[in-house]
Amino acid sequence: MSYYPDCMFRSRDPECKSPYGAVPAGQPVEFSAYPLREQGTEHITLWIEEDGGTPQAFPMRWFGLAGARDRYHTTFTPPQPGLYWYYFTLDTAEGPRYCARGYGGRSEILDAPGDKYQLTVYDPAYQPPRWFGEGITYNIFPDRFCRDRMPVQPEGEGMAPRVLHENWDDIPVYRPDENGEILNNDFFGGTLRGVISKLDYLESLHVRTIYFNPIFQAYSNHRYDTGDYLRIDPQLGTEEDFRTLCREAASRGMRVVLDGVFNHTGYDSRYFNARGRYHSVGAHQSQESPYYRWFDFQQWPDRYGSWWGIYTLPQVNEQEKSYQDFIFGDADSVVRRWLRLGASGWRLDVADELPDSFIAGLNAAAKREKEDALIIGEVWEDASNKIAYSERRRYFQGGELDSVMNYPLRDAILAFLNGGTAEHFAESVECIRENYPRDVFYNLMNIIGTHDTPRALTLLGVSEEEGHMDRDGRAHYALPPERLKTARRKLALAAVIQFTMPGSPTIYYGDEAGRQGFEDPFNRRTYPWGAEDREILAFYRRLCELRAESDTLNRGGLRFRDCQGNLLQYERYSDRSRIIVLVNRGLQPQKAQIDALYAVEMFSTCEYDSQDDTGIHLTVPPESAFLLRCFGAP
């Protein structure tokens, strides 16, 4: 409380709430509040309610003095996993007051109810697999990473003619056809054998998890319109190629995570079969189809629920038992079959649109197949309290998701580097850390780019005016030399933050090689083999090596220091090591002080000004970041 003398309660201060953040069910939580004595507080009550329930009163006992404040204390033991909300009421000489949540978890004393504090409670028996968060992940968009042969028209059941690019460096087709549709049916011919040929490259980046966007047969190049969940897309290769890839990856200490698109299938699929390319009888063809009940027809066959109204993505009814059996319930279900063939986990596309019971059932089935199988969800916001379609989601209470894509971190990094403050960055990360179970926070997929977002290098260099170019301009855009230099520096800072936060730093293929591009499909251009940005790639190699070799960065604690304006400061610490991270995004040098006897530079160089009994004084150059391994206390 000494750091916040104007504050009666701060949820992140162990003197106010212990333990920190999310807690397991059955764990007593200690609450202490510190009203100023001059306020004349007579009684304080802690009110706690389970999400959607009725608040319960927990009177707080006077527990002694704390300087100019009184201390009131009580204990609450959450009986079961769930989301809980709490606040305080005060009876003062001036009348009743409410203690609500303010910025940074600090309290605000109000005359009326305000924002409540969140308490996440999880099942202590459930432990997410730790292997993911402790390693580097590489995200591959399969058609665009690497090919081992020139593309040819694939043949066989369900296959439609494709537009094939012989030139690996072509711009993807982005203009609508004569009917005004963008079909996404142009292919560059990336293959699984192409990925196998680059495993040594991934190993050189110390990659431990390869996350694939969809690899199953589909009409489109992105393959999020699944045509057959049980067949590798012929353009990519065969089931044997997949087995070989998993086996070769495992020999290098890598695991494979697949993309599961289970909220919708393809218009051109074995299950819907609207164009009749499959031998099976699809739901669009007959109401007697075994797949008919999978879909939500308002008026068969042409009025049906689809993902975001896109007719090529008919939405499935995830509560239909036959569909659940097919996806995860049966012993040879989709989820279990591909785990058995070599995968180590699944990323769930649009997890917000999958019922909680579906996710929990899928997770349990995956764990039955492989005890350490990983289930990651695509969630763009704070997943601990997410409301989707007017329903509070259950993601981290035990047996649902092991991890989510850390879009809040991505947003915070890009906002900071494009003009935000270090204080706001720290607050964004602390909100997630406070709300997520620790094992989840250390298991997050830490991204700065995905197939759904513009390339980070472009976002960090493009001017506001250029951001409003038409599609033709965006298709051919490349950063001019001076802004490319600026974007390179900013990307380096972004990568330093990404690689020094708890969780798995995840490289979207080509970011490490300087690939640029706006939104889809320009963010999905091919990996530039032979034309990599050598400066950026060399930087990533050094950073990957540093992360892979540091137990402290993989598992250590996180503590933000004096974050102000352009200078971001935090430390990662363990029993054996203490690493200080300093990031100056500004155009002027920044002064910093390190409370250590001496320090060893781990990454980049800095200017030491002096050393005295208060520690080390140094200057952080403009647009730079570095890491210091610190020893001793001043």
Catalytic residues: 349, 378
Nearest to residue 125, comparing CAs of 27, 205, 59?
27
Distance CA 89, CA 43 (A): 8
Strand partners, 122: 24
Task: Match 């598992």 to its residue by tokens.
Answer: 555
Residues 6 or more apart whose Cβ sits within 8 Å of residue 309: none
Distance CA 568, CA 579 (A): 14
Distance CA 510, CA 258 (A): 19
Nearest to residue 445, comparing CAs of 395, 375, 392, 357?
375
Residue 608: phi and psi, rounded to 5, are: -85, 125
Distance (Å) of CA 181 to CA 46, 184, 275, 313, 497: 57, 9, 17, 14, 40
Contact 198, 145 (CB under 8 A): yes
Nearest to residue 259, comparing CAs of 203, 218, 295?
218
Distance CA 517, CA 495 (A): 18
Query: What is the residue type of 60?
Result: M
Nearest to residue 81, comparing CAs of 120, 41, 135?
120
The 10 Å CB-count burial string (b at 16+, else e) for 416-454 is bbeebbbbebbbbbbbbbbbbbbbbbbbbbbbbbbbbbb
Nearest to residue 446, comparing CAs of 488, 507, 387, 388?
507
Contact 61, 73 (CB under 8 A): yes
The 10 Å CB-count burial string (b at 16+, else e) for 73-100 is ebebebeebbbbbbbbbbebeeeebbbb
In three-state secondary structure terms, 608 is strand
Distance CA 302, CA 309 (A): 13
Task: Match 């005890």 to its residue by tokens.
Answer: 371
Distance CA 610, CA 571 (A): 21
In this structure, what token pair is assigned to residue 314? Answer: 């008919």
Strands 117-122 and 23-24, sheet pairing: parallel
- Rounded to 10 degrees, what is the CA torsion of 5, 11, 17, 23? -170
| CB half-sphere exposure, 335, CA atoms < 13 A | 31
Residue 444: phi and psi, rounded to 5, are: -75, 150
